[in-house]
Amino acid sequence: MIDIFNNFFRGKRILVTGHTGFKGSWLSIWLHELGANVIGVALDPYSEKDNYTLSGIGDRLLADIRADIRNGKLIKEIFAKYQPEIVFHLAAQPLVRLSYEIPVETYEVNVMGTIHVMEAIRATTSVKVGIMITTDKCYDNNEQMNGYVETDPFGGYDPYSSSKGAAEIAIQSWRRSFFNPDDYGKKHTVSLASVRAGNVIGGGDWALDRIIPDCIRALEAGQEINIRSPKSIRPWEHVLEPLSGYMLLAMKMWNNPTKYCEGWNFGPESESVSTVWEVAMELVKNFGHGELKDTSDPNAVHEAKLLMLNINKAKTKLGWQPRMNMQQCMNLVADWYKRYKTENVYQLCIEEINKFTSY
């Protein structure tokens, strides 16, 4: 595998929460291939077709643990047992529309779960870097044309978005109160950051209410593809784009603990910002068949129509930038879904990571 991180992750103990999820499975595969000892902590995967399940990554990890991040005592015990050096916290209730149905659970997982992970970090002296994954929806979205910058206020209309805004406020508080860079080396030895990605797409995602899985399910069933928010604009990016940013940030934080412990946006270039309809059309074009149907409902629960991220900070201060344009991204997405039924999915993921890093 092409290693764009100069062997940094080899031999390191890295704990990933939410490793059975879409982003978590890709991150775990990538870290494992780079020689890291990965400890996965998560609930069961969403479906038997998930990337985690089909790739078999769980069998390759140092530990593949089922645990609920709402159980703070258990999370602390896992940290104490495995003594991780780097933590990527991805476990979440990640769906906007579902959050209207389970608002309390959404807050328990996304806010208190994040706090439990930070408390486990605080109780475990081996941890040097903590990267807390939130979302682009953590910002107070007034549907402005300019992309949000890291210092914009947090907020959120729906329970999901607001829970992530609340998580960001908690992360900021823990950083100031317990992981303050001014106290590094005196009161603690932890560098803590939060990261906010755009609308992440890629192979192995089967979640409900996400455009790519919805399209694939319809294509495989020979049905029309229902598009509920055709004109909504999102910062689409392949899953490997933000993951490369999280990993680069972890390396920078390890080497310079007080310089990078803050919030970071990892989104696409502005030309990759497209409507839901355009993304679905691109996928249909890639598959060579499929019909789209506008099923937008004026009485549906509120979902933001416009959302964009400003990524200048990551570009200038980290030297990170997106590797793929929209066309390359969609080609890679379609490639996975065309091949997963007949090929070794773990090898398919490695092939796609290698392709991504070669851009």
d(CA 321, CA 244): 9
The more confidently predicted of residues 259 and 228 is: 259
pLDDT at 298: 85
> Average pLDDT of the chain?
97
- 192 confidence band (pLDDT: 50, 70, 90): very high
Strand, coil or helix: what is 192?
Answer: strand
Strand, coil or helix: what is 131?
Answer: strand
Q: What is the mean pLDDT of residues 243-250?
A: 99
Query: What spatial distance separates the first Cα and last Cα of the chain, rounded to whole Å?
Result: 14
Domains of the chain (ranges plus CATH)? 13-358 (3.40.50.720)
- 66 confidence band (pLDDT: 50, 70, 90): very high
CA quadruple 10, 16, 18, 23: dihedral positive or negative?
negative
- Going from the C-alpha of 349 to that of each of 36, 51, 108, 137, 207, the distances in angstroms are 17, 9, 32, 27, 18
Residues 6+ apart with CB under 8 A from 226: 214, 218, 293, 295
For residue range 116-166, what is the model confidence (pLDDT) as tens digits? 999 999 999 999 999 999 999 999 999 888 999 999 999 999 999 999 999
pLDDT at 321: 97
Strand, coil or helix: what is 139?
Answer: strand
For residue range 259-277, what is the model confidence (pLDDT) as tens digits? 999 999 999 998 888 999 9
- 300 confidence band (pLDDT: 50, 70, 90): confident
DSSP calls for 292-345: EEE---TTSPP--SB--B--HHIIIII-------HHHHHHHHHHHHHHTTTS-H
| Nearest to 166, CA basis, from 93, 97, 66, 71 | 93
Alpha helical stretches, state H, the chain:
22-33, 51-55, 72-82, 96-101, 103-107, 113-122, 159-177, 211-221, 240-255, 276-287, 312-313, 326-339, 345-358
pLDDT at 301 over 90: no
pLDDT at 302 over 90: no
- 191 confidence band (pLDDT: 50, 70, 90): very high
pLDDT at 261: 98
| Nearest to 150, CA basis, from 326, 23, 315, 305 | 315
pLDDT at 306 over 90: no
pLDDT at 292: 97
pLDDT at 21 over 90: yes
For residue range 198-220, what is the model confidence (pLDDT) as tens digits? 999 999 999 988 999 999 999 99
Percentage of residues of the chain with pLDDT beyond 70: 100
Q: What is the mean pLDDT of residues 332-357?
A: 98
